[in-house]
Amino acid sequence: MVSAHRRPRVALLCAATALTAATAASPAAADTERHCISDVDTGLERCFASFDAAITAAEEQTGRTLQEQERALDGGGVSTLAASSDVIIGTYFEHEDFGGASFTLYGDGLCTGGDDTEFWYTFPPEWRNLISSAQPWATCALWLHAGPDGTGDRDGPYRENTGYVGDFMNDRTVSTTLG
Ligand SMILES: [Ca+2]
């Protein structure tokens, strides 16, 4: 499944969004956290001013709410979702305890939660070396890597909400693999 991944395109959309926001509300611009979502397959990235807005956008992309996604996984298992649309895969946070900026991945790569790597994703440059906590969705097991394309030092798998990724990988993540 690794070969199915395509290299993400440069995240110009995110910069454009931030620029627009800064123009519209300049006094608060310095405090504005970025909450971005990205398609793991295409690398298409969009950013929002709040976590809720980002998750809502990811839900629109995948065609179901996170609650509906969790229910589908609980009830019908992986097979229920395999034949349908994308899933929300996981969220990565700038600070410990799910604080600061956030980056949510979605896509058609369905996790099995096992030890095998199903697919991988290299973060855009502005998202590297800052991740401190992570939240896997859709039964995904996340690994964090210090190099691009799932290379370098790594830690994981993170299968539960992880308020701190640990000293080894804190602020070092460049890419993530998921299984
Ligand atoms: Ca951090």
The per-residue pLDDT string of the chain (179 residues; one tens digit each, 9 = 90 and over) reads 444 444 444 444 444 444 444 444 444 444 567 999 999 988 899 999 999 999 999 999 998 899 888 888 776 555 555 545 688 999 999 999 999 999 999 988 677 777 777 789 999 999 999 999 999 988 888 999 999 999 999 999 999 999 999 999 999 999 999 88
Give distance in angstroms: CA of 96 to centre of ligand 1: 7
Give distance in angstroms: CA of 153 to centre of ligand 1: 17
Instruction: Kindly report the backbone phi and psi dihedral angles of residue 144, in degrees, each rounded to the nearest multiple of 5, phi listed first.
Output: -110, 140
Give distance in angstroms: CA of 83 to centre of ligand 1: 36
Give distance in angstroms: CA of 106 to centre of ligand 1: 21
Number of domains in the chain: 1
Q: In the Cβ-directed half-sphere of 114, how many Cα atoms lie within 13 Å? A: 6
Kind plus residue range of the DSSP H or E element containing 90: strand 87-95
Give distance in angstroms: CA of 176 to centre of ligand 1: 15
What is the rounded CA–CA span in Å between residue 67 and residue 85?
A: 15
In the beta sheet, which residues pair with residue 87? 107
Give distance in angstroms: CA of 79 to centre of ligand 1: 36
Give distance in angstroms: CA of 166 to centre of ligand 1: 11
Query: Distance from CA of residue 34 to its chain's centroid?
Result: 13
What is the rounded CA–CA span in Å between residue 108 and residue 94?
A: 25
What is the rounded CA–CA span in Å between residue 50 and residue 43?
A: 20
What pLDDT, on the 0 to 100 scale, is given for residue 47?
A: 96
DSSP 30: G
Give distance in angstroms: CA of 127 to centre of ligand 1: 10
Give distance in angstroms: CA of 71 to centre of ligand 1: 31
**What's the start-to-end Cα distance of the chain, in Å?**
10
What's 56's domain CATH number? 2.60.20.10
Give distance in angstroms: CA of 78 to centre of ligand 1: 32
What is the rounded CA–CA span in Å between residue 131 and residue 168?
A: 12
Q: State which residues form the domain around 147.
A: 2-178
What pLDDT, on the 0 to 100 scale, is given for residue 116?
A: 78
What pLDDT, on the 0 to 100 scale, is given for residue 75?
A: 67
Question: With a threshold of 0.95, does the pTM exceed it?
Answer: no
Number of Cβ within 10 Å of residue 72's Cβ equals 17
Give distance in angstroms: CA of 76 to centre of ligand 1: 36
